[in-house]
Amino acid sequence: MEGLTAEAASLAGHLRLGRLIVMYDDNEISIEGSTDLSFTEDVNARFEAYGWHVQDISGHDHDAIAAAIENAKSETGKPSIIVCHTQIGKGSPNKEGSASAHGEPLGTDEVLETKKALGWPEDQTFVVPNAVREYWESVQKKWADEKASWNELMEEYRKKNSRKAKELDRILAGDLPKSFRKAVAEFETGKSVASRSSGGEVLNMLNEVLPELIGGSADLAPSTKTVIRNEDFIGPGHFEGKNIHFGVREHAMGGVANGLALHGGFLPFCATFMVFADYMRPTMRLAAIMKQRVIFYFTHDSIFVGEDGPTHQPVEHLASMRIIPNLRVMRPCDANEVAEALCLAAERKEGPTVLALTRQNLPTLDRSTGEIAEIKNARKGAYILKEAPAGKPDMILVASGSEVHTALEAYDKLVAMGKQPRVVSMLCMKLFEEQSDGYKRKVFPKRVKKRVAVEASLDPHWQKYVGDKGLVIGMDDFGISAPKEKLAEEFGFTSDGVIAKIKEAGMLD
Amino acid sequence: MEGLTAEAASLAGHLRLGRLIVMYDDNEISIEGSTDLSFTEDVNARFEAYGWHVQDISGHDHDAIAAAIENAKSETGKPSIIVCHTQIGKGSPNKEGSASAHGEPLGTDEVLETKKALGWPEDQTFVVPNAVREYWESVQKKWADEKASWNELMEEYRKKNSRKAKELDRILAGDLPKSFRKAVAEFETGKSVASRSSGGEVLNMLNEVLPELIGGSADLAPSTKTVIRNEDFIGPGHFEGKNIHFGVREHAMGGVANGLALHGGFLPFCATFMVFADYMRPTMRLAAIMKQRVIFYFTHDSIFVGEDGPTHQPVEHLASMRIIPNLRVMRPCDANEVAEALCLAAERKEGPTVLALTRQNLPTLDRSTGEIAEIKNARKGAYILKEAPAGKPDMILVASGSEVHTALEAYDKLVAMGKQPRVVSMLCMKLFEEQSDGYKRKVFPKRVKKRVAVEASLDPHWQKYVGDKGLVIGMDDFGISAPKEKLAEEFGFTSDGVIAKIKEAGMLD
């Protein structure tokens, strides 16, 4: 019934995933009662419409199950579904076929009655009949033999192709080539480039050294800029590409990316507009729980999407993703932070990473003069991007992504007013929280109480960084449809707007 | 392609919504190119499998469209889909049938070329041909006549049934009967009842005076306790009930509830476990943007769900919903707060409300002795539930829902230690924020710096209420599977655990 299943089944049918076999336990019972209460569609016809191989059997007929699995295996051009008609709680004299057999344990008495009805030993628990035990022992033997001969084959391959074999081991272990960062060229300063575009460039650079990279977009690739050039697209019956057309199926896209990560041997990414992250939220949560390396790649990361208006303008999304445990959210401020963020995401074995990238252009900061911090500092999540002129700040401006540039402009104006501001770039709150207390205090010294956060979003996380005497310049409602320059003015995300709010808060006194 | 559509279409087919006509513009183009890149299923067969009436026509054949709509109207036992095969950008010599006709404007030159190709006046914009104008004028006349005679009928009805007519006006205006709160009986103290259960009771009480109440659960009604007793269930071709079996379709459930609210004349609620709120998040966001009165009713609202473990234990969900603008999240601490929360949700015309309710039992507080605040105070979102014994607090414990009782227990222990704590119940942060500065300062006086928030969730919103010197006792990771008593101990949500953390924070010195 879940829409996620519909998306995944449609995609599997399209791609002709001949190796996929789904056993559908059609027991006609849901928690509220008979599935007829809410679900009377023709499931078999629906899966045929998706292009699946459909079989319909009794799920209590063991020979029929075995035969159906063999049929499904021999159908290699389509995914297979085996619709198994069953009675839930089969054998239970009082609960068979009822909703209570789904939601509740049978209970001691009914378990006894069921054993009696099934002719099962009544006085034993965890019984494994001898026939089953013998069958599994024979299977173990067979598979041990198969494994041994496969290992032999692999050893031979290893001898003849040691470089490739090592690469395979590396990929399956989820490790990266030691010098993989060298593949990522530094971006030239003086140019203005949207972080969605620099992100696409970095994906392509990483692809040169990471054969495990694979991914795609939910029908937005021309906008998310995530196509890996010179690589094929995976298509129906054709699986040798590195790009995937997911279709307008965000939820299934997240599920597929999780599946690729769980399988091992892949570094999957999946892309859409940030506002649509809501459609795939359960998959981000699961990736975080399962500690899987998945890159959730979201462009159009703020109200500065512009004319599309509130339905397409993320406002609460940064906060709602930052709040998921073990999910790192990275919002880079320029092309070189984008590169760093993607490298960190690739290096991270313990969980998923969100990239938050802009639609609009951002200047690439000149980090060569010493005024702006070197990019390696970004690896600590947050860092002093630009120190107060005299080295001892009396105010901290902390920002992320596109608003870092607003903060830098405000910095200049504050300096002209005789102030000593510091600009901190907050690439990733969770990564920053992992740093030593000493480092955290260095970035946010206790004595500096005048702290201002600037981010075109609605996020209570900032409160902690600015403190009771600080100021958060963010959103407090949905966006509106307008060109991005007008929005910046309207919502105060210009350097003049920032200065005005700082003044209003009494921080210039 | 979206799973949401699949859920909704399956439900519409099941319910035999004979008045629903969907025009499907099948132009075979998506943003990444031909729909064939990711979508090759047999859509017509799929909708037939859902039980729909399917027609397949050229979407450029006006007579065929008109005939298909008439056919669809006369098919009253099934919803209808009219699959309209079209060329996107029809008539544009260079863009017809291409993806760029979807994602980009045609441009001035191509618009001119298109007009030429279509034989359309080239020098005019916003042309309405005379035939169209005349047709619409005749339609306006016809509909004005129909409206006038309907109004006459309604006036007659009004005279004969003034009470019913007033009730209809009230319902369509989204107003409530003036004394509707009288239908909600006060809950007896001394009893322990899960807030999901008291919530169910309140829904049933409200139903006595609110014929507009309608709703259901995504196949969890026995657990969410949301069945309205003595009222029918809506079923295939049978629409006179007030209960809906939504099936395991959370996303469509949210969409249906929004649709009912937009239609007018309904007070819709939709229920599931809180962890599944993620599946329907886009619909909550839209209800908030559209300012619709919808009750999103979530039970099993914390780790205290217990043995089902992290996949079923909401941790970040309260925060992720509180962050959505214009969405009120209410987490009541006892049966009488549940009643108040549901009344507030029903009264609220400007937007949706989330109810966060427990699986586990909660004591119903005795509000008769003066020690615990009267329930009407809850209408301010947060209120002083129990004042310090001497009337002047030196510490504030603020909590929501089930953790209010933990805070009250900790209160007793702190008092025994000679402290002067105050307990604040935070029913709804957004509602509290709407109060006057004076009231807010009264609840959280500036001079009291020792502030402790207790909530079995991960929510940065608390930081603002406890301040720099405060303490948040919450979650910082996913939950684990265990009985609820063990979880309370493990994560420190017992009064002893709370006291220990307060001590550790140096607040007892």
Q: What is the pLDDT of residues B272-295, one digit of tens each?
A: 999 999 999 999 999 999 999 999
B365-392 burial, b if ≥16 CB within 10 A, otherwise e?
bebeeeebbebebbbbbbbbbbbbeeee
The distance of B320 to chain A (nearest Cα, Å) reads 5
DSSP annotation of A122 reads S
Which pLDDT value is given to residue A391? 96
Q: Compute the average pLDDT of residues A293-299.
A: 98
Q: What residues in B contact A316, CB-CB < 8 Å?
A: 285, 323-325
Interface residue B280 vs chain A (CB under 8 A): no
Residue type, B66: A
Q: Compute the average pLDDT of residues B367-382.
A: 97
Of the partner residues A30, A38, A311, the one whose CB lies closest to the CB of residue B14: A38
Of the partner residues B222, B248, B464, the one whose CB lies closest to the CB of residue A1: B248
- Cβ-defined contact of B325 to A316 (cutoff 8 Å): yes
- Cβ-defined contact of B2 to A5 (cutoff 8 Å): no
Percent of chain B with pLDDT over 90: 97
Give me the active site residues of A, please. 250
In the stretch 283-342 of chain A, residues with CB closer than 8 A to chain B read 285-286, 288-289, 310-311, 315-316, 319-320, 323-326
Residue B103's pLDDT band (boundaries 50, 70, 90)?
Answer: confident
Mean pLDDT, chain A, whole residue set: 97
- Cβ-defined contact of A7 to B5 (cutoff 8 Å): no
Pairwise CA distance, residues A406 & A457, whole Å: 14
Q: Which residue in chain B is spatially nearest to A51 when comparing CA positions?
A: B41
Which pLDDT value is given to residue A509? 86
Q: Compute the average pLDDT of residues A48-52.
A: 98
Query: Which residue bears the tokens 């500092």?
Result: A377
Q: How far is CA B55 from the centre of its chain?
A: 34
Of the partner residues B1, B220, B235, the one whose CB lies closest to the CB of residue A10: B1
In 10 A of CB A375, how many CB atoms? Answer: 18
The distance of A31 to chain B (nearest Cα, Å) reads 6
Marked catalytic residue, from B110, B201, B212, B250: B250
Residue B444's pLDDT band (boundaries 50, 70, 90)?
Answer: very high
Which pLDDT value is given to residue B84? 98
Interface residue B260 vs chain A (CB under 8 A): no
Which pLDDT value is given to residue A371? 96
Q: Compute the average pLDDT of residues A189-193.
A: 92
Interface residue B478 vs chain A (CB under 8 A): yes
- Residue B386 pairs in a beta bridge with B372, B423
Of the partner residues A43, A51, A477, the one whose CB lies closest to the CB of residue B325: A477
- Cβ-defined contact of B1 to A13 (cutoff 8 Å): no
pLDDT tens for each residue of B19-56: 999 999 999 999 999 999 999 999 999 999 999 999 99
Which pLDDT value is given to residue A99? 87
Nearest to A356 by CA among A438, A264, A465, A275: A275
Q: Compute the average pLDDT of residues B99-108.
A: 89
In the stretch 381-440 of chain A, residues with CB closer than 8 A to chain B read none
Tell me the pairing of strands A29-30 and A33-34: antiparallel
Interface residue A4 vs chain B (CB under 8 A): yes
Pairwise CA distance, residues A484 & A493, whole Å: 10
pLDDT at A383 over 90: yes
Pairwise CA distance, residues B343 & B349, whole Å: 12
The distance of B214 to chain A (nearest Cα, Å) reads 16
Sheet containing strand A213-217, edge to edge, reads A233-234, A243-245, A213-217, A267-273, A295-299, A353-356, A328-330
pLDDT at B247 over 90: yes
Q: How far is CA B496 from the centre of its chain?
A: 36
pLDDT at A413 over 90: yes
Q: What residues in B contact A220, CB-CB < 8 Å?
A: 31-32
pLDDT at B100 over 90: no
Q: How many Cα atoms within 13 Å fall on the side-chain side of residue A117?
A: 14
Q: Which residue in chain A is spatially nearest to B467 when comparing CA positions?
A: A468
Which pLDDT value is given to residue B422? 98
Percent of chain B with pLDDT over 70: 100
The distance of B71 to chain A (nearest Cα, Å) reads 22
pLDDT at B104 over 90: no
Of the partner residues A1, A42, A248, the one whose CB lies closest to the CB of residue B2: A248
Q: Which residue in chain B is spatially nearest to A469 when comparing CA positions?
A: B468
pLDDT at A142 over 90: yes
B397-421 burial, b if ≥16 CB within 10 A, otherwise e?
bbbbbbbbbbbbbbbeebeeeebbb
In the stretch 210-239 of chain A, residues with CB closer than 8 A to chain B read 217, 219-223, 233, 235-236
- Cβ-defined contact of B50 to A38 (cutoff 8 Å): no
Tell me what ipTM this predicted complex has: 0.96
Pairwise CA distance, residues A305 & B491, whole Å: 41
Q: Which residue in chain A is spatially nearest to B457 when comparing CA positions?
A: A323
Of the partner residues A7, A38, A235, the one whose CB lies closest to the CB of residue B245: A38
The distance of A491 to chain B (nearest Cα, Å) reads 15
Q: Compute the average pLDDT of residues A224-240.
A: 96
- Give the lowest-confidence range in A339-343, A369-373, B101-105, B321-325: B101-105
Q: What residues in B contact A289, CB-CB < 8 Å?
A: 310-311, 478
**0.95 surpassed by pTM:** yes
Tell me the pairing of strands A395-399 and A451-454: parallel
Supply B458's token pair: 């991960």
Reduced to 3 states, what is the DSSP secondary structure of residue A384? strand
Interface residue B281 vs chain A (CB under 8 A): yes
- Cβ-defined contact of B460 to A460 (cutoff 8 Å): yes
Interface residue B56 vs chain A (CB under 8 A): no
Interface residue B480 vs chain A (CB under 8 A): no
HEC profile of B441-489:
HHHCCCCCCCEEEECCCCCCCHHHHHCCCCEEECCCCCCCCCCHHHHHH
| Best of A219, A234, A327, A464 to mutate (most B CBs within 10 Å, chain B) | A219
- Cβ-defined contact of A40 to B223 (cutoff 8 Å): no
Q: What residues in A contact B320, CB-CB < 8 Å?
A: 319-320, 323-324
Residue B190's pLDDT band (boundaries 50, 70, 90)?
Answer: confident
Reduced to 3 states, what is the DSSP secondary structure of residue B355? strand
CA angle (B88, B93, B99) in 5-degree steps: 35
Q: What residues in B contact A288, CB-CB < 8 Å?
A: 478
Which pLDDT value is given to residue A58? 98
- Give the lowest-confidence range in A20-34, B99-113, B316-330: B99-113
Residue B509's pLDDT band (boundaries 50, 70, 90)?
Answer: confident
Helix residue spans in A50-99 (DSSP H): 62-74
Residue B252's pLDDT band (boundaries 50, 70, 90)?
Answer: very high
Reduced to 3 states, what is the DSSP secondary structure of residue A136? helix
Question: Is the Cβ–Cβ distance between A475 and A457 less than 8 Å?
Answer: yes
Q: What residues in A contact B2, CB-CB < 8 Å?
A: 3, 7, 248-250, 279
The distance of A26 to chain B (nearest Cα, Å) reads 14
Which pLDDT value is given to residue A44? 98
Supply A245's token pair: 């057309």
Q: What residues in A contact B221, CB-CB < 8 Å?
A: 31-32
In 10 A of CB B265, how many CB atoms? Answer: 14
The distance of A75 to chain B (nearest Cα, Å) reads 18
- Give the lowest-confidence range in A11-15, A126-130, A504-508, B466-470: A126-130
The distance of B193 to chain A (nearest Cα, Å) reads 21
Supply B298's token pair: 């979530």
- Cβ-defined contact of B32 to A289 (cutoff 8 Å): no
Q: Compute the average pLDDT of residues A403-414.
A: 98
- Cβ-defined contact of B41 to A13 (cutoff 8 Å): yes
Q: What residues in A contact B326, CB-CB < 8 Å?
A: 477-478
- Cβ-defined contact of B31 to A281 (cutoff 8 Å): no
The distance of B164 to chain A (nearest Cα, Å) reads 32
Number of cross-chain residue pairs from A and B with Cβ atoms under 8 Å apart: 226
pLDDT tens for each residue of B428-441: 999 999 999 999 99
Nearest to B59 by CA among B88, B92, B35, B86: B86
Of the partner residues B3, B30, B460, the one whose CB lies closest to the CB of residue A464: B460
Of the partner residues A286, A310, A316, the one whose CB lies closest to the CB of residue B323: A316
